[in-house]
């Protein structure tokens, strides 16, 4: 994409998405539908390479359980976290019956979306992200949770995948917003990696987006905490490639040395960030 000048933009509003509440609800159904297509056609006993403790059937049950959990939080206007035993049908069908898993995934997504639409984005609901305690958080979070696990499923099944560009850009933005939370920094510190220091900046640059979709980010590690902004700026290291692939590297679903992306500059800094910024 041609650039005539460096663009500087302000920091993002914490945990604010770029899609409407209804668009997230529709996308959640669509992403679940794409996951269900894989579940119906693939070997459900295969190991998921990006989640090696799971089979594809386990992955499907994880996604469906997450949908039901979030949907129950919203439907009950929960004021605190709830356990799996408080979520009807959260465990899903046993075994590897594709038809049963497919139907269960469909039902859970539909119920969750119905609860989200009935509540609206501003209904007060508990979330694990202190800056926002609203139902809209769960519409966005469950959409992107499903996006990333659909990628996992596609990799396990050996089928191609892509993510709609506006959704992929918002998925990256949400991840970076979550990484700015103090709770994330506390959890990341347990990894024993220290990414901060003078001159430590990363640039994410999607190379295949149309004009009007800002898909560049500057990750700033020069202070004592992580911040980011949407910007086209020089950095110590740049990760360039198609938007879906940049997203996959950021979520550690694609290795940074893949020939689908290009790394320019301090590769060790990128590796340090990817090790540090993980909720696993």
Helix (H) or strand (E) holding 54: strand 51-55
Distance between CA atoms of 177 and 229, rounded to whole angstroms? 10
What pLDDT score was predicted for residue 57?
97
User: Is the same domain home to 181 and 155?
Assistant: no
Instruction: Classify residue 215: in a domain, yes or no.
Output: yes
Tally DSSP H helices, then E strands, for the chain.
Answer: 8, 7
User: Is the same domain home to 238 and 266?
Assistant: yes
User: Is the same domain home to 37 and 140?
Assistant: yes
**C-alpha distance from residue 175 to each of 160, 179, 206, 207, 246 (Å):** 23, 6, 16, 19, 12
State the pTM of this model.
0.93
What pLDDT score was predicted for residue 5?
30
Buried b (16+ CB within 10 A) or exposed e, 95-121: ebebeebbebbeebbebbbebbbebeb
The tokens of 161 are what? 């995948």
Q: Where are the alpha helices (DSSP H) in the chain?
A: 21-41, 56-75, 98-119, 135-157, 165-179, 182-189, 243-250, 267-276
Instruction: Classify residue 15: in a domain, yes or no.
Output: no
- Which of these three, 161, 180, 209, is where a domain ends? 161
Instruction: Classify residue 10: in a domain, yes or no.
Output: no
What pLDDT score was predicted for residue 14?
63
CATH number for 195:
3.30.1050.10
| pLDDT less than 50: residues of the chain | 1-13
Partners of 237 in beta bridges: 202, 265
Dihedral in degrees, nearest 10, Cα atoms 175, 176, 178, 184: 110
User: Is the same domain home to 181 and 127?
Assistant: no
Distance between CA atoms of 183 and 254, rounded to whole angstroms? 26
Q: State the residue range of the domain holding 131.
A: 21-161
Q: What are phi and psi of 66, to 5 degrees?
A: -65, -40
Query: Tokens 């469950």 — which residue?
Result: 142
Number of domains in the chain: 2
Instruction: Classify residue 7: in a domain, yes or no.
Output: no
CATH number for 132:
1.20.120.450
User: Is the same domain home to 27 and 62?
Assistant: yes
């Amino acid at each position: 994409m041609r650039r005539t000048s460096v663009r500087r933009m302000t920091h993002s509003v914490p945990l604010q998405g770029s899609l409407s509440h209804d668009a997230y609800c529709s996308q959640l159904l669509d992403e679940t539908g794409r996951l269900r297509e894989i579940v119906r056609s693939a070997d459900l006993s295969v190991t998921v390479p990006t989640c090696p403790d799971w089979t594809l059937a386990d992955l499907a049950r994880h996604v469906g359980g997450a949908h039901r959990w979030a949907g129950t939080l919203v439907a009950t206007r929960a004021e605190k976290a709830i356990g799996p035993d408080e979520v009807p049908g959260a465990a899903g069908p046993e075994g590897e019956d594709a038809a049963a898993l497919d139907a269960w995934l469909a039902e859970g997504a539909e119920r969750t979306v119905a609860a989200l639409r009935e509540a609206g984005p501003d209904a007060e609901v508990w979330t694990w992200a202190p800056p926002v305690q609203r139902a809209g958080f769960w519409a966005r979070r469950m959409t992107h949770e499903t996006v990333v696990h659909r990628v996992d499923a596609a990799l396990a099944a050996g089928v191609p995948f892509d993510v709609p560009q506006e959704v992929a850009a918002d998925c990256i933005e949400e991840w970076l917003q979550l990484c700015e939370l103090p709770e994330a920094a506390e959890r990341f510190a347990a990894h024993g990696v220290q990414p901060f220091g003078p001159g430590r900046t990363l640039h994410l640059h999607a190379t295949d987006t149309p004009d009007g979709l800002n898909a560049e980010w500057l990750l700033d590690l020069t202070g004592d905490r992580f911040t980011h902004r949407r910007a086209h700026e020089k950095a110590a290291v740049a990760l360039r490639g198609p938007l879906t692939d940049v997203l996959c590297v950021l979520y550690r679903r694609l290795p940074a040395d893949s020939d689908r992306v290009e790394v320019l500059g301090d590769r060790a800094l990128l590796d340090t960030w990817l090790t540090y910024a993980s909720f696993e």
